[in-house]
Structure 1
Amino acid sequence: MVTLETPRLVLRRWREEDVAPMAAINADPEVMRWIRDGSVRDEQQTRSGIQAWESEWESRGFGLFAVEIRSTGELAGFTGLSVPGFLPEVLPAVEVGWRLGRSHWGQGLATEAAAAAVRFGFEERGLRRIVSIAQVGNDASERIMTKLGMRAVRETVHPTGGRRVRVFELSSEQYAPTHPPMTLEDGPQRRRRTT
């Protein structure tokens, strides 16, 4: 199984003990404000989501990581890669996404985590293009996308939620000149593999 480390975070696969803290994050209306129709999710919905994320790991070789604070072991939320099936017009595509609990906002953690996921996608999984999708008005997410080197390429409407969304993208060619290849000795996004 793949585990990524950044200076402050561990990105890893999901465990049973992650369900309750992730459910608490999903139950916060402020966290969920820009997710689909803004509805919160309960523990069973969270458990089903985690199971789906783990299945994507098994079928595609990438997925959403649980994001853990290195210094405390606390679950901060998730980041990682998924296929944005909810927006068919951008397919085929792989999306980088994130969701952190409110207590972890404003510290650069989402950017740090997402940058590690992007690097993993390009360097370890050989992706040619990564997108990110945010509802129009979600300025915090758009700032993260810009920090990742992404650029806005289209605006459209979420087919089921009816909200306007903006699609950002980054190609492997745009990424490569500004990011030296990852090695095991790299500090900022060093990786380790476990079985």
Structure 2
Amino acid sequence: MIEIRTPRLLLRRWHDDDLAPMADINADPQVMQWVDDGSVRDLERTAEDIERWEEEWDEEGFGLFAVELLASGELAGFTGLSVPEFLPEVASDVAISWRLGSPFWGQGYASEAAHATLEFALQDRGLDRVISIIRAGDDASENVIRKLGMVLERETEHPVFGFPLHVHAIDLTEFHG
């Protein structure tokens, strides 16, 4: 079982008792405003998401980690790696992403978890490049991307919803973990 500990976080595979807290995160319009069309997700959709994330671990050898606070055991959200199949022009790449509940914003958790995920990508999975795809205007994610050392590679549009997307990339051979 893959687990990563940072000073404040545990990145791990998903447990059954993660469903309800992740569904609460996905039901928050403030959290979901930058995800797809901004729609919130219910318990059933969240269960489908977690099942898909776990399948990606089995198929790809990487996936989205549940992010747990070490101090309290609370589920803060997720961070991890996935294949961005929704965007054909970068579907051969591996993307890093994150989603944390709003009570966990502004405390550096997303940056801490994402940094550990990039180290995992380089050291444990041997990836030499990782991208991030974010919706234009998502300033909080842009801030995390800057902290990771990722640079803007291209601007494009979401193939379904049509809004502008920014694709950032980092060459992990130059990443200083």
Same fold (TM over 0.5): yes
The answer to whether the aligner puts 1:28 opposite 2:43 as a matched pair is no
The answer to whether the aligner puts 1:122 opposite 2:122 as a matched pair is yes
1:172, distance to aligned residue in structure 2 (A): 2.0
The 2-side partners of 1:61 and 1:147 are apart by 26
What are the superposed Cα offsets for residues 63-100 of structure 1, whole Å, 9 maximum, x if unpaired?
Answer: 00000000000000000000011111013100000000
Percent identity between the aligned chains?
A: 54
TM (norm. structure 2) is 0.98
Structure 2 equivalent of residue 151 of structure 1:
151
Structure 1 equivalent of residue 53 of structure 2:
53
1:173, distance to aligned residue in structure 2 (A): 2.2
1:159, distance to aligned residue in structure 2 (A): 0.2
The 1-side partners of 2:90 and 2:59 are apart by 21
Higher relative contact order (CA 8 A, sep 6+): 1
- How many pairs does the alignment contain? 177
The 1-side partners of 2:137 and 2:8 are apart by 28
TM (norm. structure 1) is 0.89
Structure 1 vs Structure 2 CA RMSD: 0.7
The 2-side partners of 1:91 and 1:44 are apart by 27
Q: Secondary structure at the residue paired with 2:137? A: coil
Output the amino acid matched with 1:93. D
Structure 1 equivalent of residue 42 of structure 2:
42
The answer to whether the aligner puts 1:169 opposite 2:174 as a matched pair is no
**What are the residue-to-residue correspondences of 1:1-150 with 2, within 5 Å?**
1-150=1-150
Output the amino acid matched with 1:42. D
Output the amino acid matched with 2:25. I
Structure 1 unaligned segments of length 5 or more: list them.
180-195
Q: Secondary structure at the residue paired with 1:77? A: strand
Output the amino acid matched with 2:28. D
Question: Highest CA radius of gyration, 1 or 2?
Answer: 1
The 2-side partners of 1:26 and 1:15 are apart by 17
The 1-side partners of 2:142 and 2:2 are apart by 27
After superposing on structure 2, the runs of 4+ consecutive aligned residues of structure 1 that deviate more than 2 Å are none
Structure 2 unaligned segments of length 5 or more: list them.
none
The 2-side partners of 1:81 and 1:173 are apart by 17
What are the superposed Cα offsets for residues 83-128 of structure 1, whole Å, 9 maximum, x if unpaired?
Answer: 0111110131000000000000000000000111111001100001
What are the superposed Cα offsets for residues 41-80 of structure 1, whole Å, 9 maximum, x if unpaired?
Answer: 0000000000000000011110000000000000000000
